[in-house]
Structure 1
């Protein structure tokens, strides 16, 4: 018989999370810190990192931060080596850094397409590869944050759809390659989450916002906490036989009729 994810799963575990200073990433950071984990937050903006660390510390949690872009593989490797030296190893790695914007493909520059693919897809690989030598294995868990665009084509999202589809397959490939070493690799695919920048961009007008909400089977937006709890489960011992899986946490949006009005 299993028990719910609790402090027994995360007390003193070292969790590295990119994009952990805002939005869904920050929600995951705060949730895991509350469960007793030592958070290592990666992001590009020092002020956001400082604010995230302060929030976690004020709530009684533990966090440090590294200001680094996930596209900078060499710097990531240096920071992950420092993590191993400081904490003895890494238990959980979560890739939540992402970039996105809405633009028709014919108006998108090659650099714009490349930027999103590099942040989302290449950045996920860079983080996982940099952390690999520092993992406490067997028993380590890796998690990527993907999106419904990985499976559902969406107008004005060619770059994001391509990047997220790549993440889904990357997760499956790494699960196959690293499973024998006791490393699990999974992903969470969030739907429209209230209060996030992604939903704000997706819902430019009240009419579109209502349409997006109604495109979900549950007819309401999710909360950051929904994704945080899904992430906590997949990276815990409760999901010890789960790997190579993409968990849709989208209120049934993937199965809805999502065609913009």
Structure 2
């Protein structure tokens, strides 16, 4: 099997696209879809073994990828990596700023070091990648950038450091869209809601019950999956989005619109099967997070 993208084959033929955090989760899925659509995908992350594994998957499917281990929080390392990509590929047509990470903690327990680590990963690193891609290629040739943020609309209790960083990335997206438009560069963001991906495996065991209960707070009554986020990213990178810049596309099943006083009415089984809301499962190598794998066979659906 290969990736079952809804987009046209060859959509990104001849393009080189960087995907940070490409060794797992949404980044891995997006890398597979972009490669299936003709791009040479450059996987970037801190763990070489994960990047090599995803490169192997993509090549086994008949597509093209390479990888560069890089700590995106380190300015010199980012500059060197971007230069290496240009030396090898000759171009950088698009950047998917997906790398990120956080830990669960109330604000009063977060140290300055912990705060800075999350902000540097989720905001500063994305800024450095975007700036270097713009300076070294896109400023003269154009391109597209998609920054991955999160469902932090209103608040993000228990992960206030991540919420602050993601809100900053939305503002950065809007500013870059204005400043770089004259060069033919579009900058947008995608905000995933509750997505069943390998990132959930990084939370402590005591979070399992909370994770399993999360779909009950989503009007569409389920988790999203990686392929549904990847499709939003691919759309924003595609020519179909040529007049979209400075926007944030939410992929969250309307969860932020939930209000007290309006009863939750999740779709019943028949409604779940209707084409408009039925899960899109295009990723042929998708893996159910371990926290759901032992459930009743339905996983995160």
TM normalised by structure 2 equals 0.80
Q: Give the direction of change, closer, same or farther, for the CA distance of 1:88–1:205 in structure 2 (3 Å limit).
A: closer
Aligned CA distance change for structure 1 residues 154 and 33 (closer, same or farther; 3 Å): same
Match of 2:70 among 46, 68, 71: 68
Residues 174-219 of structure 1, C-alpha deviations (whole Å, 9 max, x = no match):
000001110000000001111332477398233x234310211211
CA, structure 1 residues 198+251, in 2 after alignment: closer, same or farther (shift >3 Å)? Answer: same
1:147 and 2:150 matched: yes
Distance 1:102 1:85 in 2: 39
CA offsets 1:139-161 (integer angstroms, 9 cap, x no match): 41001000011x22122111011
Gaps of 5+ in 2: 1-5, 261-301
Provide runs of 4+ in structure 1 moved above 3 Å.
136-139, 198-203
Flag the structure with larger Rg: 2
1:87-133 Cα offsets, whole Å, 9 max, x none, are: 22110101101011111111111100100000000011011011112
Contact 1:91–1:136 (CA<8 Å) still a contact in 2?
no
Stretches of structure 1 that go unaligned for 5 or more consecutive residues are none
Aligned-pair CA distance for 1:233: 0.4
Q: Which residue of 1 aligns with 2:224?
A: 222
What whole-Å deviation, never above 9, does each CA across 1:20-64 have from its counterpart, x for those lacking one? 111111110011111111011110011111111111111111111
Which of 31, 35, 38 pairs up with 1:36? 38
Paired with 1:200 and 1:89, the residues of 2 have a C-alpha distance of 34
Q: Please give the alpha-carbon distance, in whole angstroms, between the structure 2 residues aligned to 1:214 and 1:27.
A: 25
Q: Which of the numbers 183, 188, 191 marks the counterpart of 1:189?
A: 191
Residue-by-residue CA offset, 1:194-253 (whole Å, 9 max, x unaligned): 1332477398233x2343102112111111000111100000111010000000011111
Displacement of 1:134: 2.0
Say which of 134, 137, 143 aligns to 2:137: 134
Q: Deviations over 1:66-92 (max 9, x none)?
A: 111001121211221222222221101
The corresponding residue for 2:254 is: 252
Q: TM-score, normalised by structure 1?
A: 0.91
- Give the equivalent residue in structure 2 for 1:59: 61
Task: Name 2:273's counterpart in structure 1.
Answer: none
Counterpart-to-counterpart distance in 1, 2:139 and 2:132: 14
For 1:257 and 1:201, how far apart are their aligned partners in 2?
A: 27
C-alpha RMSD of matched pairs (Å): 1.9
- Residues 1:179 and 2:181 aligned together: yes
User: Is the counterpart of residue 204 in structure 1 residue 207 in structure 2?
Assistant: yes
- Aligned equivalents of 1:257, 1:117: Cα separation in 2: 29
How many residue pairs are counted as aligned between the two chains? 253
